[in-house]
Amino acid sequence: MKLTYENGLLLSTIEICYKGKRKCLNRVAIDSGAAHSFIDIDSVEDLGIAFENGDPLICHSGIGGSEYSFSKNLDYVKIGGKIFRQVPIDFGTLRDFNIQGLIGLDILKSGEFLLDLKNLQLIAMDEKKLA
């Protein structure tokens, strides 16, 4: 899967599905420094994703301080040719960034992805084995 490099970020496109509604997010950063994948809530409000009683709350800490988000299971997340079903994803706000989310180590590791920085590609291990 081809990546773009913009303002110090590696950007990808993913497809998500929630309660049967699908959406492509075209500005999602590949972030191996993030433990959990995260999607900006404003980018998916048309899918009906919102905090509900019983949703787990998560505290994220980083250079900019701490922020809270909530977690929901998506029907699936599709990255390149890989589909991850019933994936828990954190939702909150990404202020001051022109991105729609982050793909973190939870998905990168479970998908056995390789990051080819020379050619700006995200490669699934099973794709490499077929090459």
Full-model pTM = 0.87
Q: Which residue do the tokens 């929630």 mark?
A: 18
Q: Domain of residue 27: give its range.
A: 4-130
Q: First CA to last CA across the chain, in angstroms?
A: 14
Q: What is the CA radius of gyration of the chain?
A: 14
Enumerate long-range contacts of 10-13, CB under 8 Å, 24 or more apart.
Answer: 10/115, 10/120, 11/99, 12/79, 12/103, 12/122
Give the count of domains, the chain: 1
Q: Which of the two residues, 58 and 6, has the higher pLDDT score? A: 6
pLDDT tens-digit series, residues 64-117: 677 889 999 999 999 988 999 999 999 999 877 899 999 999 999 999 999 999
Alpha helix (H) residue ranges in the chain: 105-110, 125-130
CATH label of the domain that carries residue 30: 2.40.70.10
